[in-house]
Amino acid sequence: MRKPFVIANWKINKNVDEALNFLDAILSQLPDSDRTEVGIAPQAFAIYPMVRSARKTDLQIIGQNAAEKCNGAYTGEISVRDLASMGVNYVMLGHAERRHYFKESNQSINRKILTALREGVKPIVCTNGERKNVGGDNVFSQLENVLAGVPAYQLANITLLFEPTAAIGAGNRANIETAERGCWLLRQEVRRKFGGEVAEHVRILYGGSVNPNNIGLIMAAPNVDGVLIGRASLDAGSFAQMMNYQQTTLSSVI
Ligand code: PGA
């Protein structure tokens, strides 16, 4: 059974006070952690205060990025070893915006993944479809390259993410068929590369224009195990609703 994972990606929004106020508003509404895992990826400087503030809960505070190296002369970078030392369990690597604006390559993302695994932080590995379609070839070559040298047993520590580029930050461009097809394609590729058992267990998330109105349908798709939410996660009420999507879906059925 793959546990659903609902993640807020705040990008460079919210200062420390705003981040802590947001936690105050949502912590008492966290869903049962046996049924749903919830995470928030804030700006790097908000991670430590948020980890402290959420320490008695199962909320995951997630890094948005980390460097290939763990220490040394790399001004401005974020060390995954030091994320681990703060109690961070997950780090996003290779988000579409990192690839687009900061020219991150598959090779660099691959090195970051290997470093994170070595330091015991679980990578959330992002792949993107192309502008006009699911972009199977693009997704396959990204996956192939970023997972080079990763042994099959480590897939238990990896979460995959599929995002069609056109749906990121687009407001209302999520398409349920595209979400399912992209996640299904990724699972097929994991099956081909690492075998059926690994493919059955790996969590694959969808991202791009997820909001309180479409999350129920997206999460009902058989190959979608979770969502990464940008814009709609910035409002505490809307995020609280989405992290409790199972309850909402259930009550709308009854
Ligand atoms: P969005 O962002 O929900 O605003 O489309 C998604 C993302 O950051 O990946």
3-state SS of 43-85 is CHHHHHHHHHHCCCCCCEECECCCCCCCCCCCCCCCCHHHHHH
Q: Which of 37, 97, 104, 163 is catalytic?
A: 163
Tell me if residue 170 falls in helix, strand or coil: coil
Kindly state if the Cβ of 231 falls inside 6 Å of ligand 1.
yes
Domains in the chain with CATH codes: 5-253 (3.20.20.70)
Q: How many other C-beta atoms can be found within 10 angstroms of the C-beta atom of residue 18?
A: 14
Angstrom distance (rounded) from CA 160 to CA 124: 6
pLDDT, one tens digit per residue, over 47-106 is 999 999 999 999 999 999 999 999 999 999 999 999 999 999 999 999 999 999 999 999
- Dist. CA 5 → ligand 1 center (Å): 15
Answer whether 140's CB lies under 8 Å from 182's CB. Answer: no
- Ligand 1 nearest-atom number relative to CA 232: 3
pLDDT for the residue numbered 1: 83
Residue with tokens 């990204």: 142
Answer whether 61's CB lies under 8 Å from 50's CB. Answer: yes
Query: Would the pLDDT of 132 be above 60?
Result: no
Answer whether 90's CB lies under 8 Å from 60's CB. Answer: yes
Q: How far is CA 213 from the centre of its chain?
A: 20
* Sign of CA pseudo-dihedral 91, 97, 99, 101: negative
Query: Would the pLDDT of 228 be above 80?
Result: yes
pLDDT, one tens digit per residue, over 137-185 is 678 888 999 999 999 999 999 999 999 887 877 766 778 999 999 999 9
- Ligand 1 nearest-atom number relative to CA 9: 8
Lowest mean pLDDT: which of 116-130, 211-225, 227-241? 116-130
Angle at 61 between CA 60 and CA 65, to 5 degrees: 125
- Dist. CA 229 → ligand 1 center (Å): 5
- Looking at residue 95, the DSSP 8-state letter turns out to be -
Query: Would the pLDDT of 254 be above 60?
Result: no
Across all residues in the chain, what is the average pLDDT? 93
pLDDT for the residue numbered 172: 63
Q: Average pLDDT for residues 23-30, to the nearest whole number?
A: 98
pLDDT for the residue numbered 170: 73
